[in-house]
Structure 1
Amino acid sequence: MSIEWVNGAIEEIRAWGRSKDVVVDADEVRLLCDYASDYLDVSELADFTPGTFEQLLLDIYPRKVIAPPESAAETVAAARTLVDFLLESGEIGTKMAARMRAKIDEIAPEMPAALADTSKFGMAKSIFGAMGADEPDPTALDAPGPAGSGDDLLGLPLHRLRGVTADDGCECPGCSPLPAVRLAPPQQVAGAVREAGLLRDAHLVVAWMRDAGRTPTVRGALRVRDAARVTRELGVAAPETAWRLAVSLGLVEVSGAALTVAPGFLPLPERDDREVLDLWAGTVAFVTDGTADITGSAELDQELYAVHDMLYRLQEPMALAELREHLEEAWTGARPGEDDQDDEDGLGAALEVLAHCGTIERVRDAVRLTPHGLWGMRETFVRMGMPAPVAPDPAEGDAAGLVDGLLGGVPAEQAERDIGSWLARRSSPEAAAELLGAVQAQDAARRGVAVTIIDRLGPEAADAVRPFLSDAELRPHAVHWLSARGLEAPALTPEEALWVSVDMLAVAMPATEDDHERFAGTLATAAPPAHVIEEMWQVDHPDVAEVLDLLGRHLPDREIAKAARKAAFKARSRGIH
C-alpha cells in the first residue's frame, strides 16, 4: 500500500470538510482508501470508480472487516462523503459522480447482509472467530500485515482501527496482548538463519550479479535471462523473489539499470550474528507483509501475516486440515473448478516455499513457526511498538516451575534445552531432591515429568532418592529407579506394582487425545497382561477408572479391551474416580 498518497488524501478531505462545514468520518474514509490501495490497485483518488465501491463494500469489507451488519450505514455514509469530495475537488466529473452515487444507493441495502454472511469471511477474519472472539468488535479491523520491512515497521500498528488503537482498549484477538514466548538463544537463531533459503539466496544472487557484471532492467528487476542462469548455475529456485528481498534489505541499490552493491557486502556465512539477526528481521517482514509474491498465490500471500501471527499466538503446531479450512477461500474460492487434490497439492507447494524461506516448518500433518521464525515474528512485533514478552527461562526457577513449563506443551527440542539447562545448574542429588519434593501430593502428570527427568541421573543421586521411599505415591517410582541402577532397594508389593502401572498410564492420557493411533500401536506391543488389567480396578489411585477406560478404548485385543471396560465399571462402583 502507498501510505503516502492515502495520508495526503485524508489531509485534503479533512481540510475540505472544515472549509465546507461538512462532518467527515476521516477514519472510515481512510479505510476505504487503504483497502482500495491494498487490494484494488488504486494509487490515487482519481482511480476510484463505481466498481471500486462495489468491490470494496460487497467483497473486501465482508472478507476483511470485523464489524456488525448495522455498521454498514457508517461505511456507506463515508463512501458518499468521499464521492462529494471527489466531485468538488475536481478528481471526477458530474457524470462519474452520478454513477458512483447510483452504485452506492444499490449497495446500501445489500451491505448489511454481506457483512453478516460467514461464507464471505476471509482467512484472517475467520481466525479471529476461531481464537475465541464471541462477538466481533465493531471497532476492529483485520488488516493485512505490515507493509514494508526494516525501519518501515517502526511505530506501525498491528491493525488499522476505526479511531481505536490497542492502547485505547481494543479487545479483538488480533490486538489482544501477545503471549509470552520462549526464544532460542540468539547464536542458535543466527546459525539457523544462515541456512534459511531465501536470505541465503538473496546473498547468492547479489554476489552473482556483482561478479558477472550484470545489471537489472530499467525498472530495477532481475532480467529474465539472468534469473534463468542463476537458477541453472546456483540452484536458486526463485531468483526474482531473492532479488527483491536483496533490494528490500539494502544489500544492493538500484537506480534504473544501475546497480550498486552495499559497501562492505559479505556472504551470509561471514557476517556476525548481530548483522545476521538484523537481516533476518527484515526477511520475516518481507515474507509476511502481504505485498511480495512469495508463494505464487496472491490470495495466500495477502494472508501470510495472519498465518504467522496466528501460529505465534497458538504456540503449538496447527493441523494442516485446520489451516486448509481457514484458507478455503484463498485456495478454492480463488481457483474455481479445481478439485480437492489440486487444493491440497497447492497448499503443500506453498508450505514448501515457506519452509525454504525459513519461517514455517511441517511437523507431520501440522505446521508451526520455526524457532527462528518465532524469533523473527517477535522482532517484527517489537518494531511495530507492540509489547512482545519473553517467557522466563525455567533453568532460573525451581523444580515446580520447570515441571509446569514442560507440561505447558513446549516443543520437544525446547523441552530438551530447558531440562539440560536446569540440570546443568545443579548437582544430581540436588536435582533429584528438588524434583521429587516438588511433585509430592501432586497429580500423575507432574510425577511423570519429574520421574522422567530423574531417570537421566546416575547412581550418585541415590541418597537424595531414598528418603522418598516413605512417600506412598513416590515409593514405587523410587524403588524402580534404584533397582534399574543395580542399587539396594526394597521389593514392590503386588499392590504397589499395580499402582505404578496405573500411574504411568495416567501420565500418557493427555497425549493419547492427540495421537490415538500411536498410543494404540504402543499398547499392541506393551500393554499390561489381561490378568493385571482385571485386577487394576482394586488400586486406590484417583485416575484408575479413567486409565481403564483408556485401555478399553484403545487395546487392540477386543476381549482384553472388554475386560478393561468392566474393570472401569467396578472401579467407579467402588467410588474410585
Structure 2
Amino acid sequence: MANSGNGGVFDLGELRNLIDELGSVSGEEREAMLAEMAGGDEPCDCDDCDGEVLSFPPVELAPSAELAGAVPAVPLVRDARRLAAWTGVRPVTPEGLLPPDDALRAAAELGLTAGRLRLVWIVAVNGGLIRVTGAGAAPGPGLPADLMEFWDGVVMDVLDRIDEGLTGSAVADEHLTEMLATIYATTDGITYAALVEGMLQAHEIGCEARAAEMRRLREVLPAELRAALDLLCYCGLFERAGDGVRLTPLGVWAVRQDLLREGHDAPLMSEVAGFADLSAAELVEAMLSGEAPSSAPALWVERRVPEDAARELIKVAASGTAGQRGVIGTILEEMGPEAEPAMREALAEPAMWRHAAVWLGVRDLPAPALSEDDGTWLAVDTLATLLHVPDAEEAMGEFEALEGGEELLRLVEEIGRSGHPDAIAVLQLLGAHHPDAVIAKAARKAAMKARSV
C-alpha cells in the first residue's frame, strides 16, 4: 500500500467499516486494525512502485579527507592491491579469472581463503587495480584520485555478491540489506544478541519459516552470523563495538549512498538541523511544501519535551486544514504514551477528537468509542488532504481504498452527510478526477445534493 506522501493521518482501507469496532476489541486487536489502515510500515504492492520510500534518521559523516584516507586501510582494499602486485602480468582463464593453480598459489601466499580471493579479484579488476584483456592480466594504474568513488564501487561489488553466497550464511545474505539499514538507523550500533534475534524474526516473518527450520536456525545462526560479521568487518563496513557491531565511518557513508540510490530519505544532520528550531506551524508548512524531509519531525520532537511538542502540534491542527492535520497526525503517530496528557486535551477539539481517540486506542489507553459516522468523518478528513497537494489527481492514485467498487460508492453517498467542512470539496474532487466514471458520476451527484441541503 502506498503512502499518500501528503501527510494523511490514515489511509482509508477499511476505516469506515472497522472504526466502530474499536470500543469492543482488545488493545492488541485495535493496534493491528489501525496499523493495517495506516499502512505506514507496509511495502508498496502497486505495479508502478518498487517499494516503500523509507525515512532514516539524519547522520553526521566523517570529514571527507578522513573518509578518503581510510579507504586504502580497508583490509579488502589492501588485499586487492596486494593481489594486483602478486599477479603482475600473467594469463587468465576465458572467464577472466586466475587459472586454478595460480589461484591456489595466490591464496596460499596472500593468506586468503578461496572465497575471499574471488571477492578480492573482483574488487581489484572492477576497481582498475588489475586490467584484464584478451591477452591476460596486467597491472592497472593503482588507486584512483577519487577514492570515495572507488570505495562506492567496492561496496557495490561486495553487495552484488549476495546472490552467490557472500557471507556463507543463507539467512545473513537474505537479510543483509535489512541488517545494514537497521544498523544505519542505530547510531550506537546493535548488540550481537539483538542482531541474532532480529535476523531470526525477519526470517520467520519475511520468509514464512516453519517451526522446524526456526529451531535449526536458532542453533546454527549465531555462529553463521559471527562469520558473516567477520567478513563485513574485513570489507570495511562494520567494526566491533563492545558486545555488538556498528557501521564504520566508511560504512555509514556507503550505506547512505545505497539508500539514496534506492530513493530513500537519508539526510545529513546539517540538512535537517535547522528545522528543529522551527515552530510547530512553521515545521508543518515546511513539510506540506516539501521543503522539509520526512525525517525532520523526528529531530524536531527529539529536541522538545514530548508532551509540550504534542500540545504545540495539536494547537495548530485544531484550527488548521486537513492537510495540516495529516502532517501533524503523522508526527503524533511516532510519539509514545508520554504524550497522553496532550492527546486527552485534544479530545475537546472538534476537528481533532476523533484522531485523538484513535491515537489513544492504538496505544491501549482509555479512549472514546467511535461510531461509523465518526469513521466516515475521518475518511473525509483523510481524503481532504488531497485538496492541499499540487497534483491531486496523481496523489489520488496512491489511495488504495479509492479503487472503484460498491464500498467506495457507499462511502461517496455518506460523505455528503458527514458534516465535515470539506465534504463538498472532496466530492467535487472525486467527481472531477476519479478515473472510474461510475464513481465520478456518483460523487458529482452527491456534491449537488449536499449543496442543496
Fold shared, TM-score > 0.5 on shorter chain? no
Bigger relative CO (Cα 8 Å, ≥ 6 apart): 2
Length-normalised TM-score, structure 1: 0.36
Please tell me whether Structure 1 or Structure 2 has the larger radius of gyration of its CA atoms: 1
